Amino acid sequence: MSRSAAPTLVGLLSGPDCPGIVAKISGWIYGRGGNIIHADQHRDHEEEVFFQRLEWSPPVGDSAAEGVAFAEFARSLGMRTVVGRSDERPRVGLMVSKFDHCFHDLILRWKAGELRGDVACVVSNHENLRAEAEHYGLPYEHIPVDGDSASTAEESQLEVFHRHGVSLVVMARYMRILSAGFLEKLGCPVINIHHSFLPAFAGGRPHHQAHARGVKLIGATAHYATEILDDGPIIHQDVTRVTHRHGVADLVRKGRDLEKLVLSQAVAWHLENRILVYGRKTVVFD
């Protein structure tokens, strides 16, 4: 493989800010024969935390080993570091209930080559979307969930995701709360889409809440899921205007368009290694 066709490395770094850190990192890459293609950084002045995303062409040779060496070097500077490769295609698991708009949108974007990853399986607590999933050639696992069987259902869900080797789970309007135990055992991030502009109108029936309040903007929020409902670090949000002439059905219709766009953008950013989480916040690099 020629140098121009070789995969690039992408590093995400965060840690205490200190003078000269950018020079040290870029110097390390240059000193080993690498070439930086893109670099972006951010400093949280209140927390004095430094964040950086780097993409570079490593020297000819074992790029995986070069990524390991870079992570070790960055950690020596006190940086929390994740290194990926541009040719990696993470496997994604989808969780759905009955709503299908985010489900179809994500799969069609994947089929069109817009996502740097592959949908591996679909898990649902209902049978509604089985035919659609199988039409796309995706394995569909129906795992019913109720109050008495929730823990057993989560164990079955974990088995499916681990069997398919997923490194990202997307709740494409999966209408259940995931437990702390499930999230810990899963061992990979989970992205959720909520149909409101968080932190406003968390929980169920946000469009009804928004209509009752008479808001002039409604929104959608993609965030990393935690055991606390609609409280995880926010990745992406967007809004659209509404007026007193719009009823609840209008808000739902307009909101679904937002949900598709916001969720797909958040998933794309994650798969491209553009998101750093710290505390209850995220840094999303261009």
Q: What is the pLDDT of residues 237-258, one digit of tens each?
A: 999 999 999 999 999 998 999 9
Out of 230, 238, 257, 286, pick the active-site residue: 230
CA-closest candidate to residue 163, choices 145, 177, 148, 143 = 143
Q: Are residues 97 and 200 in the same domain?
A: yes
Alpha carbon separation from 263 to 176, 244, 255 (Å, rounded):
17, 27, 12
Using the 3D structure, point to which of 59, 85, 111 is the last residue of a domain.
85
Identify any residues that bridge with 80 across adjacent strands, giving them in sequence order.
14
Q: Are residues 17 and 141 in the same domain?
A: no
Number of CB atoms found within 10 A of residue 52's CB: 24
Q: Are residues 198 and 109 in the same domain?
A: yes
- Please indicate, yes or no, if residue 1 is contained in any of the structural domains: no
Q: Are residues 180 and 277 in the same domain?
A: yes
- Report the percent of the chain where pLDDT is more than 70: 98
- Please indicate, yes or no, if residue 162 is contained in any of the structural domains: yes
pLDDT of residue 4: 47
- Please indicate, yes or no, if residue 152 is contained in any of the structural domains: yes
pLDDT of residue 5: 60
pLDDT tens, residue by residue, 126-162: 999 999 999 999 999 999 998 778 889 999 999 999 9
Q: Which two tokens stand for residue 96?
A: 């759905």
Helix (H) or strand (E) holding 258: helix 248-271
Using the 3D structure, point to which of 62, 85, 108 is the last residue of a domain.
85
Q: Are residues 159 and 244 in the same domain?
A: yes
Q: Are residues 98 and 238 in the same domain?
A: yes
Q: Is 230 a catalytic residue?
A: yes
Domain containing 189 — which CATH number?
3.40.50.170
Taking the model in full, what pTM does it have? Answer: 0.92
pLDDT tens, residue by residue, 171-186: 999 999 999 999 999 9
- Please indicate, yes or no, if residue 3 is contained in any of the structural domains: no
CA distance 221 to 237: 5
Identify the band that residue 1 occupies on the pLDDT scale cut at 50, 70 and 90: very low
- Mean pLDDT, rounded, for 156-169: 98
Helix axes 21-31, 63-76, angle to 10 degrees: 150
DSSP reduced 3-state for 106: helix
Residue 2 has pLDDT above 70, yes or no: no
pLDDT of residue 3: 44
Q: Are residues 108 and 237 in the same domain?
A: yes
pLDDT tens, residue by residue, 189-225: 999 999 888 888 888 888 898 999 999 999 999 999 9
- Mean pLDDT, rounded, for 82-103: 96
Number of helices and strands in the chain (H, E): 8, 13
For 56, the domain range is 9-85
Q: What's the structural domain count of the chain? A: 2
- Mean pLDDT, rounded, for 57-78: 91
The CB-side HSE value for 126 (13 A sphere, CA atoms) comes to 12
Identify the band that residue 33 occupies on the pLDDT scale cut at 50, 70 and 90: very high
Q: Are residues 78 and 131 in the same domain?
A: no
